[in-house]
Amino acid sequence: MNKASLALALTRLRRLGGDDGPTIGQAADSLSALGRLAPLPLLAALGMTPSPGLPLGAICGGLMVWLALAGLLRRPAGALPQSMARKRIPPGVLRVMLRQIAPPLRKLEKLARPRLEAAAWPALVWLAILGQSIIMALPIPLGNFLPGVAVLVLSIAILRRDGLGVIVGLTISAISLAVLAGLGWGLLAVL
């Protein structure tokens, strides 16, 4: 279990990439020292951040699918696909994302601690993260918030071996799937 602060590591991303902002690959590399799950909160937060003209939900969702599949199959994730890893995170988007995500992430990190470790099944967490990542990659208007929150909670919980956090994250994942199913049902009813 790595006790380093993910929120602090995220705020340090502002120093990467100069005036153009860091690439997603640079950001993921900088966070990977904290553990295999460490890039996921960044990607989830970016995917939830409004970015007109830049499909961050699809890009970040796709990268999270890549990482979740590697985690589920217990294989090293390897390098991110170059086409996605080279995408720059505009400094304005990075500032908005950090302003939105750093305070709640700090609170999550303070709350998370080893407890109910039997509920912290990595395979189940990776499967839930995979499902939420697929949802984030879909072009659903305003559909990235719940999956992003679920990935944030699940990744922090598993990093801190917090089974209670895993249960909360899985509950948010189930709610996210229910909302998606409701949207799909409504769309079918309209058509």
Share of the chain above pLDDT 90, in %: 16
Sketch the domain layout of the chain as residue ranges.
6-190
The top-scoring range by mean pLDDT among 4-13, 78-87, 123-132 is 123-132
Per-residue pLDDT tens digits for 27-79: 877 877 777 777 888 788 888 877 777 777 888 888 889 888 888 887 766 66
What is residue 1's predicted lDDT score, i.e. its pLDDT? 42
Residue 17, burial from CB neighbour count under 10 angstroms (0-12, 13-18, 19+): middle
What is residue 135's predicted lDDT score, i.e. its pLDDT? 92
pTM check: above 0.85:
no
Per-residue pLDDT tens digits for 146-168: 999 999 899 888 888 889 999 99
Sign of CA dihedral 43, 106, 120, 3: positive
pLDDT at 81 over 80: no
Predicted confidence band of residue 127 (pLDDT cuts 50, 70, 90): very high
